[in-house]
Chain A
Amino acid sequence: MWRYTAKRLIQGVITVWFIATATFAAMHMVPGDPLASEKAVSAEIRANLEAKYGLDKPVFQQYLIYLGNLARGDFGISFTQKNREVNDIIREHFPVSATLGLLAVTFAGLGGVLWGALTALYRNRLPDIIIMFLVILGISVPSFVVAAISQLGLVNLNNLLGFNVLPVGGWGTVSHMIVPALVLGLSTMAYLTRLMRSSMLEIINSDFVRTAKAKGLPPTRIFTKHQLRNAVLPVITVLGPAIAAITTGGFVVELVFAIPGLGRYFVEAVQQLDYTVIMGTTVFYGAFLVFMVIAVDVVYGLIDPRVRLD
Chain B
Amino acid sequence: MAEQSFSADAFEPLHVEQHKQVLSRPSLSYWEDAWIRLKNNRRALISLYIVIALLAFTLIGPLVWQIDPSVQDLDQVSQPPWADRRATVVEPYTPWRGETLDSPGSGLRTAQPANTQAVRLIWDVDATAEGGYRIYRNIFPIGPEKAYGLPLGEQFSPDETWFEDRLDLKARGYYYTVVPLDARYQESGEGETLYVEVHNAITAQGAVKRGLIEDAAAVREGDAIKLALHPLGTDYLGRDLLSRLMHGARVSLFIGIVAPFLYVLLGVGYGATAGFLGSRADAVMMRFADFVVALPFLLFMILFKIMFGIGPGESGIMPMLIAMVILSWPATSRLVRGQILQIREEGYIGASRLLGAKTNYLVLRHMIPNTMGVILVTLTFAVPSAIFTEAFLSFIGMGVAPPTPSWGSMCNEGIKTMLSTPHELIFPALFISITVLAFNLLGDGLRDALDARMRSRE
> Contact at B441–A22, with CB atoms within 8 Å?
no
- In chain A, what residue has the closest Cβ to B456? A198
Interface string of B106-138 (1 = CB under 8 A from A): 000000000000000000000000000000000
Q: Are A270 and B302 in contact (CB under 8 A)?
A: yes
From known contacts A145-B425, A285-B299, infer whether A15 and B291 are also in contact, taking CB-CB under 8 Å: yes
B392 touches A22 (CB 8 A): no
Of A39-47, A88-96, A169-177, A250-258, which stretch is located at the interface?
A: A250-258
Interface membership of chain B positions 408-430, coded 1 if the CB is closer than 8 angstroms to chain A and 0 otherwise: 00010001001100100100010
Q: Tell me if A22 and B295 are in contact (CB < 8 A).
A: yes
Give the contacting residue for B307; candidates A15, A29, A256; CB below 8 A. Answer: A29
Shortest A12–chain B CB gap in Å is 9
B189: interface (CB < 8 Å): no
B419 pairs with A140, CB closer than 8 A: no
Q: Is the CB of B295 within 8 A of A136?
A: no
Could you say which of A29, A256, A289 contacts B294, with CB atoms under 8 Å apart? A289
Q: Which residues of A are found within 8 Å of B306, using beta-carbon distances?
A: 30, 270, 273
Q: When chains A and B are docked, how far (Å) is the Cα of A136 from the Cα of B442?
A: 12
- Name B297's contact: one of A23, A143, A248 (CB within 8 Å): A248
A51 CB to nearest B CB, Å: 26
Residues of B within 8 A of A23 (CB): 303
A148 with B433, Cβ < 8 A, contacts A140-B384, A198-B456, A290-B294 known: no
Contact between B457 and A202, CB atoms less than 8 A apart: yes
A152 B419 Cβ-Cβ under 8 A: yes
Counting CB contacts under 8 A, is B231 at the interface?
A: no
Q: Given the complex, which residues of B lie within 8 Å of A15, measured CB to CB?
A: 290-291, 294
Q: How far is the CA of A140 from the CA of B43 in the complex (A)?
A: 15
Chain A 122-152 interface 0/1 with B at a Cβ cutoff of 8 Å (1 = within): 0000000000000011011111110010011
Q: Across the interface, which residues of A come within 8 angstroms of B142, CB to CB? A: none
Of the candidates A26, A27, A155, A266, which one forms a contact with B419 in the assembled complex, judged by CB atoms under 8 Å apart? Answer: A155
Q: Determine whether B432 belongs to the interface, using a CB cutoff of 8 Å to chain A.
A: yes
Interface flag for B261 (CB, 8 Å): no
Chain A residues near B296 (CB, 8 Å)?
19, 244, 248, 282, 285-286, 289
Residues of chain B contacted by A148 (CB below 8 angstroms): 415, 418, 425, 429
Which size bracket describes the interface of A in this complex? Answer: 35 or more
User: Would A282 and B300 count as touching, CB distance under 8 A?
Assistant: yes
Q: Which residues of chain A come closer than 8 Å to B384, judged between CB atoms? A: 140
Query: Do residues B298 and A19 form an inter-chain contact, with CB atoms below 8 A?
Result: no
Q: A18: CB under 8 A from chain B?
A: yes
Q: How far is the CA of A140 from the CA of B388 in the complex (A)?
A: 9
Residues on the A chain within 8 Å of B396, using CB: 251-252, 255, 267
**In the complex, which of the residues B294, B304, B433 contacts A142, with contact meaning CB atoms closer than 8 Å?**
B433
The complex places the Cα of A170 from the Cα of B436 at a distance, in Å, of: 30
Q: Does B343 contact A (CB under 8 A)?
A: no
**Is chain A's binding surface mostly helix, strand, loop or mixed?**
helix
| A281 interfacial contact with B, CB 8 Å | yes
Cβ proximity bits B337-373 to A, threshold 8 Å, 1 near / 0 not: 0000000000000000000000000000000000000
The residue on B at minimum CB distance from A11 is: B290
The one of B303, B436, B441 that contacts A27, using a Cβ cutoff of 8 Å: B303
Residues 6-38 (chain A) with a chain B CB within 8 angstroms: 15, 18-19, 22-23, 26-27, 29-31
Chain B residues within 8 Å of A100, by CB: none
**Please, which residues of chain B bring their CB within 8 A of the CB of A270?**
302-303, 306, 398
Cα-based distance from A50 to B440 in the complex (angstroms)? 51
> Are A140 and B294 also in contact (CB < 8 A) when A30-B307, A145-B425 are?
no
Q: Nearest CB to that of A17 among chain B residues?
A: B291
* Chain B contacts for A285, CB-based, 8 A: 296, 299
With a CB–CB cut-off of 8 A, which chain B residues contact A278? 303
B403 within 8 A of partner (CB) = no
Q: Nearest-CB distance from A139 to chain B (Å)?
A: 6
B222 within 8 A of partner (CB): no
- Cβ of A296 within 8 Å of any chain B Cβ, yes or no, is no
Any B CB within 8 A of the CB of A114: no
What is the CB-to-nearest-CB distance from B415 to chain A, in angstroms, rounded to a whole number?
5
CB-based nearest A residue for B458: A198
B300:A140 contact, CB within 8 angstroms: no
Tell whether B98 is near chain A: CB-to-CB under 8 Å: no
Does the CB pair B298–A31 fall under 8 Å? Answer: no
Distance A255 CA – B388 CA, assembled complex (angstroms): 17
Q: Is the pair B433, A145 in contact by a Cβ cutoff of 8 Å?
A: yes
**Which residues on A are within 8 Å of B, measured CB to CB?**
15, 18-19, 22-23, 26-27, 29-31, 136-137, 139-145, 148, 151-152, 155, 198, 201-202, 244, 248-249, 251-252, 255-256, 266-267, 270-271, 273, 278, 281-282, 285-286, 289-290
Query: Can you list 10 A-B contacts (CB < 8 A)?
Result: A18-B291, A19-B291, A19-B296, A23-B303, A139-B440, A140-B440, A141-B436, A148-B429, A266-B302, A273-B306
Q: Other than the known A26-B300, A201-B457, what 7 A-B pairs have Cβ atoms closer than 8 Å?
A: A30-B307, A136-B437, A140-B384, A140-B433, A142-B388, A248-B297, A278-B303
Nearest first, the 4 closest Cβ-Cβ pairs linking A and B are A140-B437, A145-B429, A18-B291, A140-B436
